[in-house]
Amino acid sequence: MSTTLSAEKYPTLSLVIPLFHGFEYTIKQTTPSTEIGKSLQLKILEVVTRRLGGYESNKTVAKSTFLDPRFKKIGFGSEDNANNAQKWITEELSQNILSNQTMAHSTLESANSESLNLHASTEGIWAHFDSKVTNIKSHSTPGSLLILMVRQYLEMQPLPRTENPLEWWRRYKTTLPEMYDLAAKYLLHPGNFSSIGRNFSKAGQLTCSRRNRLGSKNVDKIIF
């Protein structure tokens, strides 16, 4: 489990929740034959739940798991937590789209003010058409479009667990552009010292190897 979460070539934050439930399930399926074994099993479950169980209700981790096409809502142990993750994603999408629309509206207002005089002479000709357009009421809203977008994502076939979710999102970047932006934000690596530890281990192995070949006194002179 720790090895999987310490990887550097694929997203790992989205793995935290499904790995916790997989580990929990494995422990529960074990049948100890002694009282000491049963006690140890309960203790391990208690520690694992205490240390990792809360991540499912953590907004950042939950969003990451939801946006991983391998897991979506399936990776959650609780339906309520899965629904919360979907709600948080929808809310953030709504905020992003509203912000983009505000910027676009400002740009259009500026462009319209510059071209107003240019089209003034033909305004009467287009009055009938413009009035028909104004009377048309759209039945779609940003909120309803977002719901459809998220639903489309959830209904797509889950990505096989061994494949890279980043490659999946690159393929569907133009299909789900707003969700792609969120995936790029949340499918990340949680901070850890694994790579630093590996580098120190490799350095130690090299030093020991040189000591064995040259003798400790000679190596000390070379290094220091």
State whether 148 and 207 are in the same domain: no
Which of helix, strand or coil describes residue 190? coil
For residue 42, what pLDDT is reported? Answer: 94
Average pLDDT over residues 129-154: 77
Give how many domains the chain has, as a whole number.
2
For residue 222, what pLDDT is reported? Answer: 42
Does position 137 have pLDDT exceeding 90, yes or no?
no
For residue 219, what pLDDT is reported? Answer: 43
Neighbours of 192 (CB within 10 A): 13
Residues 64 and 15: their CA atoms lie apart, in Å, by 9
**Confidence tier at 146 by pLDDT (50, 70, 90):** confident
What are the contacts of 134-142 at 24+ separation with CB within 8 A?
Answer: 142/94, 142/97, 142/98, 142/101
State whether 146 and 108 are in the same domain: yes
State whether 164 and 213 are in the same domain: no
For residue 147, what pLDDT is reported? Answer: 87
Lowest mean pLDDT among 7-16, 43-52, 165-174: 7-16
Which of helix, strand or coil describes residue 162? coil
Domain presence at residue 134 = no
State whether 149 and 165 are in the same domain: yes
State whether 198 and 182 are in the same domain: no
Residues 182 and 217: their CA atoms lie apart, in Å, by 56
Q: Are 73 and 154 in contact (CB under 8 A)?
A: yes
Distances (CA, A) of 174 to 168, 170, 180, 214: 12, 8, 8, 59
Domain presence at residue 99 = yes
